[in-house]
């Protein structure tokens, strides 16, 4: 497996980002990194994509940047020229895949049926994008694919959020998941990068499968109780709520 795909697997989540202006790129990239998801798939659905990728790769070397919604070889060439380290496409375009394979660029084309999986195998791919995931049968469809195609892993994208994120990641044929719920265009256009960071942290906690039902700590005074609540907030992304006789996280 390509080193870039191994890095994506290590993160587990690929934010699918739509940017309307290159000026949004670096603040968004910083928000992702601070949220614990140092990956960005910048879609080629806007004219700002190419310049945004250039800015991100130049100014945030710790961020793994790729290009999404790549549907032509020209877009693939432009994306790689701008610094994209991986290519993602919504469907299976043999010309795009062959170009990337020949250039040793990780590519995950979109598939949702056996014939497309076999096209990918024929061209030497072992990681594919499952798209649109929920509309194509979701996790149960991936489990069905696992029988005849046991060596293939997937990056499901489409209809995935915090409610079903853990279900996908718990399946060993899922390399990572893609989604845009933490980078909604309205958040970016409004400059709400703090909210992007918060949603990323939430997604990371869900992806890790960590769950705390209830923990009560008796403290000698209010200050100690508040300090413990804030520690929980720092460690696990909880929100502190101060009460009359207790402080909650």
Q: What are phi and psi of 234, to 5 degrees?
A: -65, -40
Which residues does residue 55 pair with via DSSP β-bridges, in sequence order? none
Residues annotated as catalytic are: 41, 129
CB of 44 closer than 8 Å to CB of 69: yes
What SS3 string covers 179-239? ECCCCCHHHHHCCCHHHHHHHHHHHHHHHHCCCCCCCCCCCCCHHHHHHHHHHHHHHHCCC
Distance between CA atoms of residues 209 and 55, nearest Å: 34
Pull the structure tokens for residue 90.
């919504």
C-alpha distances out from residue 165 to 1, 13, 162, 200, Å: 23, 9, 5, 12
DSSP 170: T
């Amino acid at each position: 497996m390509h080193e870039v795909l191994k890095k994506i697997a290590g993160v587990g989540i690929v934010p699918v980002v739509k940017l309307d202006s290159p000026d949004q790129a670096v603040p968004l990239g910083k928000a992702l990194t601070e949220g614990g998801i140092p990956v960005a798939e910048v879609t080629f659905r806007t004219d700002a994509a190419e310049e945004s990728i250039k800015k991100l790769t130049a100014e945030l070397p710790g961020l793994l940047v790729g290009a999404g919604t790549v549907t032509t070889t020209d877009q693939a060439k432009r994306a790689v020229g701008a610094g994209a380290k991986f290519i993602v496409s919504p469907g299976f375009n043999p010309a795009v895949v062959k170009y990337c394979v020949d250039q040793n660029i990780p590519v995950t084309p979109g598939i949702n049926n056996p014939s497309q999986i076999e096209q990918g195998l024929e061209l030497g791919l072992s990681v594919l994008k499952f798209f649109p995931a929920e509309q194509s049968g979701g996790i149960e469809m991936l489990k069905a694919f696992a029988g005849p195609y046991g060596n293939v892993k997937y990056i499901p994208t489409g209809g995935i959020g915090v409610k079903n994120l853990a279900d996908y990641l718990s399946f060993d044929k899922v390399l990572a998941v893609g989604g845009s719920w933490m980078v909604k265009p309205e958040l970016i256009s409004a400059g709400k990068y703090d909210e992007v960071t918060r949603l990323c942290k939430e997604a990371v906690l869900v992806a890790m499968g960590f769950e705390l039902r209830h923990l009560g700590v008796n403290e000698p005074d209010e200050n100690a109780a508040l300090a413990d609540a804030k520690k929980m907030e720092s460690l696990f992304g909880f929100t502190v709520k101060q009460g009359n006789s207790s402080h909650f996280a």
